Each structure stands twice: as structure tokens, then as C-alpha cells.
Amino acid sequence: MYWDQITTKNFLEEVVGHCDTAILPVGSIEAHGQHCPLGTDNMAPGYFAAQLEKVYHDRVLILPAVPYGYTPDLSAWPGSLSVSASVLQQYVAEIGQGVAQWGVKNLILLNGHGGNIGALQAAMDRIAQEQMRVVLVNWWLDFSKQILTITQGQGHAGEDETSVMLQVAPQWVHMEDASFNPFRPRYRIKGPGIQNKSLRHATTGDGRLGTREKGEKIVELVLKELSLLLERLWVDDLFDRTDNS
């Protein structure tokens, strides 16, 4: 079910007391190389959420996405839009608090943008105070090990993200403009001139290696992992246990 497509009458009758899990896609508007669309970080989590809704129509509520993110490193590239981390944190926290008042017990923050992670982690603390379980999923990061069985590498507008976009929204990808960034920072560093290498062409990694076939495989494995997450949430199986106890 999509939260914004339900009438208030039906929400009371069909959702309250019946559906306790919601997904909030969160992304950004920013340069993704020269070949992927500015809304890449919205399109990927939005697609994942839509596919999950098809499978779990009666059990999952899909919230309208938060389309703007914290992306100062790419804000100088044409078309990029960035909001402050504090604004993003406050906004997401208040959305979560609002969702909680309608009996939702599980909220998945389905994130498509690395720059959002710190703000979303801080928002989680506030949302959890509403007696709600909050899960932050950064699809390219949390499932990196599995993705690297499909691609040679990962990166911003790199092989993995480009492949996903070729599967999710191929009409907006221009592979003739795909590029390769040979530079890898040795340290976490920011400063004058750093981005000329760290984000050369608004890319990290090699977008030229992206293919739709790889994207199809990545999407399949991400959806498998997200489905497993939902199933575990519903039976309260959220922790691995060692044999050392």
C-alpha cells in the first residue's frame, strides 16, 4: 500500500491495527558522473520499495520519498541540490514521529545516498524514542559483499550504480558519456582541490563497466535481502548469536 494513495477513511479501517511496517525511501539530487540522472539516488530506492510493495501489498506501507539529501561535495556540479545535514535529520525524525502515532512499529529508512547516512543515524535515535524499531538500509553499502560477486568494483556512478540504473531507468542513462576515475583517496580528507581527484567527472570507480545484465542481478539480490529483512522483522529475528555464550 502507498500511504499517500489511501483515503483517511480507509486508512483507519485498513491500516490502523492491521499494518505495522512502513518504508521511507530517502535519496538526493546530485551529479552522477556525466551519464546517470541527477535523481539516481531517488530512483534506485524508489524502485526497490515499489517491488517490495508488489510482494507485501497488505503488510507494507510505502511512504512518499524524501528526495533531497546532504551532498555538499557535489553541490557545485550543474543540477545538484543539497540541504544541510541538520535539516535532513530534523525532517526525517519528524516524519518518523508522525508515522509512529498511527501504530506503525517498524520503519525502514531505505537510503540511496551516502551523504545522508550520518543525518539518518541521528534521526533514528529520535524516532526510536517513539517505541518504534527503525532500520537504516544503505543498499550499495550493506550488501557490498554480495554486489562484488557481480561487479569488479563499486563507486558513485561507478560500475554497480550504473548497472542498477541501466536496469531501473535505462531511458535516463547515457553510456556514451560514462567515465572512469582512476584516483582513490588513501584517507578520509576534504580540502581545496581534493574533489578534483576524489570526485573527478562526479564519479568514483568505473561507470563504463556497467551493464543491464549486472544491474538485473544486483536488483535481484538487493530485493532478496530486503525481503529477508522484512521477514525477520515480523518474527523478531534481528540478531545473530555466537556459540560463546
In this predicted model, what pLDDT tens digit does every residue of 133-185 receive, in sequence order?
A: 999 999 999 999 999 999 999 999 999 999 999 999 999 999 999 999 998 88
* DSSP secondary structure code for residue 25 in this structure: E
1 has a pLDDT exceeding 90 = yes
Cell numbers given for 116 = 545522508
Domain boundaries, the chain: 3-234
Average pLDDT score over residue span 72-92:
96
Average pLDDT, the chain: 95
Q: Which residue has the higher pLDDT, 243 or 88?
A: 88
pLDDT interval class at 245 (50, 70, 90): low
- At 198 the pLDDT is 86
Other CB atoms within a 10 A radius of the CB of residue 152 amount to 12
- At 20 the pLDDT is 93
Q: List the beta bridge partners of residue 111.
A: 26, 138
**Superfamily in which the 3-234 domain is placed by CATH:** Creatininase (3.40.50.10310)
- At 241 the pLDDT is 82
d(CA 33, CA 157): 6
pLDDT interval class at 195 (50, 70, 90): confident
Residue from 219, 172, 198, 242 nearest 50 by CA: 219
